[in-house]
Structure 1
């Protein structure tokens, strides 16, 4: 997918012009001025979100007791990109911790499918999720946003999942889904889209608040990318719904060690600085406030992708269809 052209030393990006393909004329929605350079994270007050919503997880991280983390989801989780970043961050933050990360993901499916699978099927919820007995569960289901069901049906299913997790003593981080192809979301553009129109996203925010569950609000972060001059589809590897490395970096920055902010407000602080003055890599390195503590600069390490857009090193250069106004 196209990326903004790199800046030379001393240059500052004022805007991006996005040319997604053949077009008759340039319109308003092709223009992406740089309105902000970082996500406007609210200042943290009081105990950290992890202390409030994940006390048992925090206790294990500090004591060195074994901590088993399960990443449960669909094809986005199956890609195996954002959860290793989570693990790498925790190991840097708590070097004494004994952490195991496992993934259970079913591409193209959703929570309805998991709960409907009979025993012995290979995807049965009790056998493939609960039987792992994780201490902490990260759940990501962008496919649940496409279900045609009543709010009551969604809530009843998530109540069932919540009770099952409580039954095994697991703590839970809910991820709201990233943005996908605009017409799948009822959108006709990639700017002026701060408010996610999907009922599923509204439900997750309400459900997390009602039940005091940690929320990683990826949707809020994606909804403001246009303010940083970034058409969010440029972060989709397939141009539809599968994030590339930079897109997964946002999940990393909005989920617990992926930079959750104060619950239940917006998350992700310090990712992407397309309007900043060019430095060694064309961006600044601001201090970031993480769910499990504060860290300086990029969370990259142990094979993780550096923070910022575009992602570097691990991704081959692709021809850019952006033009920068400098």
Structure 2
């Protein structure tokens, strides 16, 4: 039975072929457009054979010469290393990004999550109990700009919105109320300083904590936050929430930033390792977006195809990668 890969993102450079994440099935419908949702007021639908070509045997896609799809080599930051984004009026990949739907025989999303998966995982005991009873559950999203929804075209397509929608599909009688307390540009020192005011009083059923991107930023000397301070700040947040009650806590690892950005330290994986280790120590679930992200890069996805701001904010497909890590965690 064919599966559907939806809104996989690409930024094309001239007529260079890029690998599709999964092998496509010839003869099945394909849609390529400039917006992740097929129904959009300003959506442009591209035509196979005219604007792009898919090699179904090789599993690749490329733009054609003269295509209506913008050429990524015309981006002002194309080929620029150690760039300072503040010196460019427009550094986004928005106009260059194409979203493609296609059929594949591969297992694509792993979204066949069930109530049994959630209960067996043991990560969401309080949340699962409320949802199973058909009650309202409060989900606090805590973190930096990625957790605030950075670059997702709408809240339902940000990773936390996708995760909440998945849960709502499993527990249709319940209601999940999302309270987003994330702040763009914040690192763990900021999160630790306000957790007792912004999170604890809400008595949430679930809190996801997503930091690391700003902590890893390269500075003239060291990083914005040392690994030791990063761990200490996360410990403080976890302890503060736990002392206040039996709230379920999930930790979220960060994606990889554009390696050509001047603030990329190259040490994001070390910050992700700290998060994984704390998850094991505290018995807390870890949505390992970093592992899912690096798997996408290893499969041939480019940084430009995953980062809408071309720096450190996922596009809609990138937010799907984040949400996939929640499903993988709960399925074990």
**Smaller-chain TM-score range?**
0.5 to 0.7
2:242 is matched with which residue: 160, 166, 171?
A: 166
Partner residue of 2:176 out of 99, 120, 124: 99
Deviation at 1:2, TM superposition (A): 1.2
Matching residue of 2:227? 151
Q: Which runs of 5+ in 1 are unaligned?
A: 25-35, 117-123, 188-195, 264-326
Structure 1's 173 and 113: CA in aligned 2 closer, same or farther, altered over 3 A?
A: same
Q: Distance in 2 between matches of 1:129 and 1:238?
A: 28
TM-score after normalising by structure 1: 0.61
Distance 1:197 1:114 in 2: 18
Q: How does 1:213-228 map to 2 (within 5 A)?
A: 213-228=284-299
- Does structure 2 conserve the Cα–Cα contact (< 8 Å) formed by 1:165 and 1:171? no
Q: CA deviation at 1:175?
A: 0.6
SS in 1 for 2:169: helix
Q: CA deviation at 1:110?
A: 1.6
CA distance in 1, matches of 2:227, 2:268: 14
Shift of 1:244: 0.9
Tell me the number of residue pairs that the alignment of Structure 1 and Structure 2 aligns: 231
The 2-side partners of 1:78 and 1:20 are apart by: 27
**How far does residue 185 in structure 1 lie from its aligned partner after superposition?**
4.6
Contact 2:19-2:61 within 8 A present in 1 as well: no
Identify if the C-alpha distance between structure 1 residues 13 and 185 changes in structure 2 by more than 3 Å, giving closer, same or farther.
farther
Q: Which residue does 2:148 correspond to in 1?
A: 78
DSSP-derived class of the 1:158 partner: helix
Cα distance in 1 for partners of 2:171, 2:291 equals 28
Aligned 1:216-295 pairs, distance under 5 A = 216-255=287-326, 258-260=327-329, 262-263=331-332
Aligned equivalent of 1:9, options 27, 30, 49: 27
Matched-pair contact (CA < 8 Å) for 1:53–1:214: yes
Aligned mates of 1:84, 1:199 — CA distance in 2: 27
The structure with higher relative contact order (CA 8 Å, sep 6+) is 1
Runs of 5+ in structure 2 lacking a partner? 1-9, 13-17, 29-55, 64-70, 80-104, 150-154, 218-222
CA drift at 1:252: 1.4
Q: CA deviation at 1:206?
A: 0.6
Q: Distance in 2 between matches of 1:206 and 1:5?
A: 33
In 2, Cα distance between the equivalents of 1:241 and 1:85?
20
CA distance in 1, matches of 2:277, 2:108: 22
Contact 1:145 1:200 (C-alpha < 8 Å) held by counterparts: yes
**Which residue of structure 2 lines up, in the alignment, with residue 210 of structure 1?**
281
Q: Is the 8 A contact 1:140 1:175 kept in 2?
A: yes
Q: d(CA) in 2 for partners of 1:90 and 1:140?
A: 19
- Residues 225 and 232 in structure 1, CA contact (< 8 A), matched pair in contact too: no
Give TM-score, length-normalised by structure 2: 0.60
Q: Equivalent of 2:189, from 109, 112, 118?
A: 112
| Distance change (3 Å), C-alpha of 1:57 and 1:261 | closer
